[in-house]
Structure 1
Amino acid sequence: MDDLVDLVSAGDVAVLSGAGLSTESGIPDYRGPDGTRRVEPMSYGTFVGSSEARRRYWARSYIGWQRFSQAAPNRGHHDVAALQEGGYLGAVITQNVDGLHQAAGTRDVVELHGSLDRAVCLTCGETTTRDGLHERMTEANPGFLQRFVDRAAAVGSQWGEQVRPDGDIVLSDDLVDSFHAPRCLVCDRDTVKPAVVFFGESVPKSLVERCFALVESAGALLVLGSSLSVMSGYRFVRRAAARGIPVAIVTKSATRGDAEATIRLHESLGDTLAALRSALVAGF
């Protein structure tokens, strides 16, 4: 911990955050403590492959949004914002799609995988807000939420515990089959997709290059709550290490980037960030 305080006290630290930072906000991550994937997300290929897959995604996401959209920043998000305000942290590259960094007041947030608060039509490119899209889905599916709530109550299920990092939820096939997926208001196709990068989809090259530039210009890289299991985030750790830029990783589970880390803490993010803020931010 002393080494981490010394590293961050020098300032000019870029941040790479992952799903582990949002778990205290009630948004679970995809992987367990041992780094093994607990749930299988829908892939880009599956989503674009059929109308049935898109209906399944949107039915599940419609229910999940009830809980996901109510998530609030936790103490870790606020500590990151305070450390940035204190001049210790620079830009934050996040793999999360929940917008909680911004809600906590963090500036210069780069959403590597997009954000669930927007949606885009894959056919014509029309964009819309997720709140607006949710209202349209509610109008097109009267009583759908209540049917789900009644079904969950009948089996004693706590549906909120099933919400996934990308906002969807487990649903029975019969409920999915009754759902009317959203259609684009411009071209009337059912190819509306959340403005996030699905598994199997590539992050835009221009965005990757922007993140590389942020890492290369930083004095250090601080990884918070990411297993680095996918190359999407791991490549920035590799780039920092190749450039001789110190890398600090804080997460309980093992990560793909442990070998490149200068400092490695297998600790709770909430407690670690609180201690870091206490050591560095005046008036904490």
Structure 2
Amino acid sequence: MLEELVEIIKEGNVLALTGAGISTNSGIPDFRGKNGLYERYGHEIFDYGFFKRYPEKFYDFVKKEFSKMYKAKCNISHRLLARLEDLGYLIGIITQNIDNLHFKAGSKNVVEIHGNASRFYCERCGRKYSFPEKYYCKCGGIIRPDIVFFGENVKNLDYAYSLLKEANTLLVMGSSLQVYPAASFPLLIKENQGNLVIINIDSTSYDEFADLVYHMDLNEFSKILFRYFEEE
């Protein structure tokens, strides 16, 4: 069923791009889906201006929703990518997620373009926190999560572009490919004559450009693909 994809992966220089769909099977709600975070809280909850004006409301949200991320366990899709990296086929992961699950799975070269919700720091003095009891630092500055709010630039973009130039194949897993700059990555890989593989439960606007498309539950897909690399 996945023999053609297996051959592409074994050629090496595979780069993964992961979105919220890879972590929903770990119990983490996505942003845009039914009963997702935007539907329940509105887009403004991730707006930097809202955070600055109402830090107490944002931290009420953090205590309810981020706690799910901290308790979540990586699933077989995260472990699959860690396995491919260990075998030398995967050169890295660019993730739109802030849940830290790729690192929990054992992946090493993870580019978190939207940050990581497990890290906090003071905007004024830079002091780092694991999870603050209060949202004000001793210096009087506001403690914020190390994530990208609306209105802020994404992180590590230069490194992400360097990996895209190096890659022969872009493996898109669980991303709707609606948010830029990540939504531009499939076209960049095609401009470089690379392979584009999309695995997502729903169709995306880039399916027509892809070499291979699998509309499957990611856990089911990963269970099948994992078998090809289990014994190596």
Q: Same fold (TM over 0.5)?
A: yes
1:3 is aligned to 2:4 = yes
Partner of 2:15: 14
Larger radius of gyration: 1
- Structure 2 gap segments, 5+ residues each: none
Query: What number of residue pairs does the alignment pair up?
Result: 227
Say if 1:200 and 1:3 are closer, same or farther in 2 by CA, change over 3 A.
Answer: farther
Q: In the alignment, is the contact (CA less than 8 A) between 1:15 and 1:223 conserved in 2?
A: yes
Say if 1:227 and 1:95 are closer, same or farther in 2 by CA, change over 3 A.
Answer: same
Measure the CA separation in 2 of the matches of 1:110 and 1:127: 22
Question: Any idea what the Cα deviations from partners look like across 1:171-203, whole Å, max 9, x if unmatched?
Answer: xxxxxxxxxxx10222x13x3221101233221
2:111 is paired with a residue whose SS is strand
Partner of 1:173: none
Partner of 1:30: 31
**Alignment counterpart, residue 167 of structure 2, candidates 197, 206, 218:** 218
Q: In the alignment, is the contact (CA less than 8 A) between 1:118 and 1:127 conserved in 2?
A: no
Aligned alpha-carbon RMSD (Å): 2.0
Matching of residues 79-98 of structure 1 within 5 Å:
79-98=80-99
Say if 1:256 and 1:121 are closer, same or farther in 2 by CA, change over 3 A.
Answer: farther
How far the C-alpha of 1:49 sits from its partner, in A, is 4.8
1:44 is aligned to 2:47 = yes
The higher-RCO structure (CA 8 Å, 6+ apart) is 1
Matching of residues 227-246 of structure 1 within 5 Å:
227-246=176-195
Per the normalisation by structure 1, the TM-score is 0.74
Measure the CA separation in 1 of the matches of 2:176 and 2:161: 19
Measure the CA separation in 1 of the matches of 2:198 and 2:73: 24
Say if 1:209 and 1:282 are closer, same or farther in 2 by CA, change over 3 A.
Answer: same
Measure the CA separation in 2 of the matches of 1:31 and 1:3: 32
Q: Give every structure 1 segment of 4 or more consecutive aligned residues whose post-TM-superposition deviation is greater than 6 Å.
A: none
Partner of 2:105: 104
Task: Give the % identical residues.
Answer: 30
Per the normalisation by structure 2, the TM-score is 0.89
Question: Any idea what the Cα deviations from partners look like across 1:238-275, whole Å, max 9, x if unmatched?
Answer: 21112111110101112232233221110111111221
Partner of 1:185: 138
Q: In the alignment, is the contact (CA less than 8 A) between 1:117 and 1:129 conserved in 2?
A: no
Question: Any idea what the Cα deviations from partners look like across 1:99-147, whole Å, max 9, x if unmatched?
Answer: 111111111111111101111333x14132233x1xx23xxxxxxxxxx
Matching of residues 114-263 of structure 1 within 5 Å:
114-122=115-123, 124-131=124-131, 133=132, 136-137=133-134, 182-186=135-139, 188-189=140-141, 191-204=142-155, 207-263=156-212
Partner of 2:72: 71
Measure the CA separation in 2 of the matches of 1:125 and 1:243: 42
Q: In the alignment, is the contact (CA less than 8 A) between 1:25 and 1:71 conserved in 2?
A: yes
